[in-house]
Amino acid sequence: MPPVIGVIGCGYISRFHFQSIAAAGARIAIVSDLKAENAAARAGEFACAATADWRAVVAHPEVQAVVCCAPSAMHAPIAKAALEAGKHVISEKTLALDPADSLALGRLAQARNLRLYVNYMKRFFPAVEEAARILPGLGAIIAVQVRAHHPAPFDLSDPASSHPFFSPGDDGHSPIWKASGGGVLTCSGSHVLDLLIHLAGRPTSVYGRTLRRSGHDAEFMFHGLLDLPGGAVAHLDCIWHPHRRVGFERRGWDESIEIIASRGRLVLRFPVWDAPERAAAQLAVYDEATGSWSERAFDSINPFTAAGAHFIAQIAAGAQGPMDPFTGYRVDAVIAALLRSAATGAPESLRWQDG
């Protein structure tokens, strides 16, 4: 039986979670949002209770798994309370603002034999699954190019150009920072960092450079060099840019990973994040033995639905599966190290504590 679900946060991203919960046939017992109208709309749709108090979701006696779609600063306290109450957790990314909290959450989930997932749903694109299968046959990884160029409604190079979503309000924080807990690295880069770690391993040290415009709390550009196991280096390139017709869909979304290995290469390209049905993620593979490229064709799928189905099935089966409870910690630790490096100008070593 699928677990009974409680959802915290009924804003933009929650639509994908509600779709995937419904597709998995799981029942929702209660939803929460500080905005009563957001919670009421979902409660009406799913014939469940609504509350403004997220703790009521965690404490609800029927709820077996908590889906957290609240702003990022709330993820760690919600996940901690849920795990302590004996509930499984599916959290939006990123898991915590401080990787020490993400590590503690992974350990807590393990100690309580509960499932903990962070919604790095791009792993569930068939193109990524195929890349993970092919990669070992391409030999040793030599270099990786990781790009997250996402469109933004302003011109980075023009100090007079800005947008309210990216500009701090009276409380000192921009809406983008409040939702995602950071700037382009955390918001846009976290997915490609998860994919880098998933496909190429945990970085051993990093070096970061950033551009933060005066008066803004979120960086608009981040570049990183990441030392990988085995001596390879990954180049990370994250930008919020004003170009409307770049990327393979020509919709401004230009996100890709190229892995250069001793016997070949592979290139992954990703569609616009919130309309993934429109175009499949793409995979091209180069084989040095034959000197040929092959383009692999995939059906377009919604990775949110695939990820949600996987998480709910794993919870029902009582098994964590391949996405272990330290997935969120690893991404958070790399982001924190890159930001520290950008602040100090010095490289940062990563001392992994997730075993």
Ligand X SMILES: NC(=O)c1ccc[n+]([C@@H]2O[C@H](COP(=O)([O-])OP(=O)(O)OC[C@H]3O[C@@H](n4cnc5c(N)ncnc54)[C@H](O)[C@@H]3O)[C@@H](O)[C@H]2O)c1
Q: Which of residues 256-315 bind ligand X (CB under 6 A)?
A: 273
For ligand X, the closer CB: 74 or 350 = 74
Helix count (H) and strand count (E) of the chain? 11, 15
Helix (H) or strand (E) holding 317: helix 303-317
Q: Which of 74, 108, 134, 206 binds ligand X (CB under 6 A)?
A: 74
Could you give the CA distance from residue 94 to residue 331 in angstroms, rounded to a whole number? 8
Residue nearest to ligand X as judged by C-beta position: 11
Q: Which of 28, 29, 50, 70 binds ligand X (CB under 6 A)?
A: 70
Region of 7-15, 143-151, 215-223, 248-256 interacting with ligand X (CB under 6 A): 7-15
Q: Which of 22, 23, 34, 85 binds ligand X (CB under 6 A)?
A: 34
Helix (H) or strand (E) holding 195: helix 189-200
Could you give the CA distance from residue 15 to residue 29 in angstroms, rounded to a whole number? 17
Give the 3-state secondary structure percentages of the chain, helix then strand then coil, rounded to 5: 35, 25, 40
259 conformational bin, left if phi > 0, alpha if psi -120 to 50, beta if neither: beta
Taking residues 92 to 131 in sequence order and writing x for each that binds ligand X by CB under 6 A, - otherwise, the string is xx-------------------------x-x----------
Q: Does 12 bind ligand X (CB under 6 A)?
A: yes
What is the rounded (10 degree) CA torsion for 198, 183, 10, 126? -30
Helix (H) or strand (E) holding 76: helix 75-84
Q: Does 174 bind ligand X (CB under 6 A)?
A: no
Q: Does 72 bind ligand X (CB under 6 A)?
A: yes
Q: How far is the CB of 105 from ligand X (least distance, A)?
A: 15
For ligand X, the closer CB: 2 or 71 = 71
For ligand X, the closer CB: 20 or 341 = 20
Q: Smallest Cα–Cα separation from 99: which of 329, 347, 337, 351?
A: 329
Question: What is the separation of C-alpha 9 from the centre of its chain, rounded to a whole number of angstroms?
Answer: 17
Region of 29-37, 58-66, 107-115, 236-244 interacting with ligand X (CB under 6 A): 29-37
Q: Does 8 bind ligand X (CB under 6 A)?
A: yes
Could you give the CA distance from residue 219 to residue 166 in angstroms, rounded to a whole number? 10
Q: Does 9 bind ligand X (CB under 6 A)?
A: yes
Q: Which of 7, 66, 69, 206 binds ligand X (CB under 6 A)?
A: 69
Q: How far is the CB of 183 from ligand X (least distance, A)?
A: 12
For ligand X, the closer CB: 121 or 134 = 121
Three-class DSSP category at 265 = strand
Could you give the CA distance from residue 289 to residue 44 in angstroms, rounded to a whole number? 59
Q: Does 32 bind ligand X (CB under 6 A)?
A: yes
Q: Does 151 bind ligand X (CB under 6 A)?
A: no
Region of 66-74, 95-103, 238-246, 249-257 interacting with ligand X (CB under 6 A): 66-74
Q: Smallest Cα–Cα separation from 164: which of 221, 216, 212, 214?
A: 216
Could you give the CA distance from residue 246 to residue 239 in angstroms, rounded to a whole number? 13
Q: Which of residues 179-238 bind ligand X (CB under 6 A)?
A: 179-180
- Tell the residue number behind the tokens 């593979």, with chain if given: 285
Per CB under 6 A, residues contacting ligand X are 8-14, 32-35, 38, 54, 69-72, 74, 92-93, 119, 121, 179-180, 273
